[in-house]
Amino acid sequence: MSAIVRTEDLAKAFGSNAVLKGVTLEIPDKKVSAIIGQSGTGKSVLFKTIMGMMKPDRGKVWFKDIELTSLPPGELIAMRRYFGYSFQNAALFDSMTVGENLAFPLREVLRLRDRGEVRNRVAEMLKWIELPGIEAKRPDELSGGMRKRVGVARALIMRPEVLFFDEPTTGLDPVLSETINGLVIRVNKELNLTCVMITHDIPAAFRIADKISFLDQGYIIADGSPKEVVASEHRMVKDFLRISFSELKV
């Protein structure tokens, strides 16, 4: 598996709170990767440092053969078009319609000025998430699951190369969670994009992901195929997986 994104020895602290202490990670191209670990261990911080939204104290991030942390700010911002993200609380703009929400990155980031093209890309994206024709609706008229899908559509409309999902199913009921997990799989298989997700849903991660990385105390302590991670001898990983999987059998 060749890597599309790589990090080397990434470190990030907030005052005396050392969150990432040396994260070396490879995100395989055109696969689904999952980052798991306890809450508050720095999974979201890892995403933000990879995407260049947060500056690491030390370490490097490569997108293909471009080293991002040494780019001048303007060039780093320009690289963001290759990264789409759907954050847990990436709220849609409530004052805009769904169509305006989707058109926003096309106008503001890609600087698309052709109104017909913007309209077509928005319609095409809504069709792809199986919510055709909802351009005129406002986000607060949509259900939670629909809002999530529109959030994913907004990330995809830029035609990024890597899609980052930060806890896409947290707070959703099991049926909606399956819809969103299915959407992640479709993004990977139909659009052939690299997907990286942070998730609390460990059974889903093991079902969907080609590669799993376990973040704990600032380091990746287990990393590999689901089979390899399940076989980890690391105490923390074993305990975490035992608890996560036993919660199933109630």
Positions that interact with ligand ADP (CB under 6 A): 14, 17, 19, 39-45
The minimum distance between CB 161 and ligand ADP, in angstroms, equals: 23
Rounded Cα distance between 33 and 30, Å, is 9
Give the tokens for residue 56: 């690491």
Helices (H), the chain: 43-51, 73-79, 98-108, 115-128, 144-156, 174-189, 202-208, 226-230, 235-246
Question: For the chain, first and last CA: distance in Å?
Answer: 37
Residues 30-49 that bind Mg ion (CB under 5 A): 44
* DSSP code for 225: S
Nearer to Mg ion, 45 or 153 (CB): 45
Rounded to whole angstroms, how far apart are CA atoms 162 and 155?
Answer: 10
**Residue 16 touches which of Mg ion, ligand ADP, none (CB < 5 to 8 A by kind)?**
none
Q: Pick from ligand ADP, Mg ion, none: which does 59 bind, CB < 5 to 8 A by kind?
A: none
* Binding at 19: pick from Mg ion, ligand ADP, none (beta carbon under 5-8 Å per type): ligand ADP
Q: Which is nearer to Mg ion, 44 or 181 (CB)?
A: 44
Task: Find the residue with minimal CB distance to Mg ion.
Answer: 44
Nearer to Mg ion, 88 or 97 (CB): 88
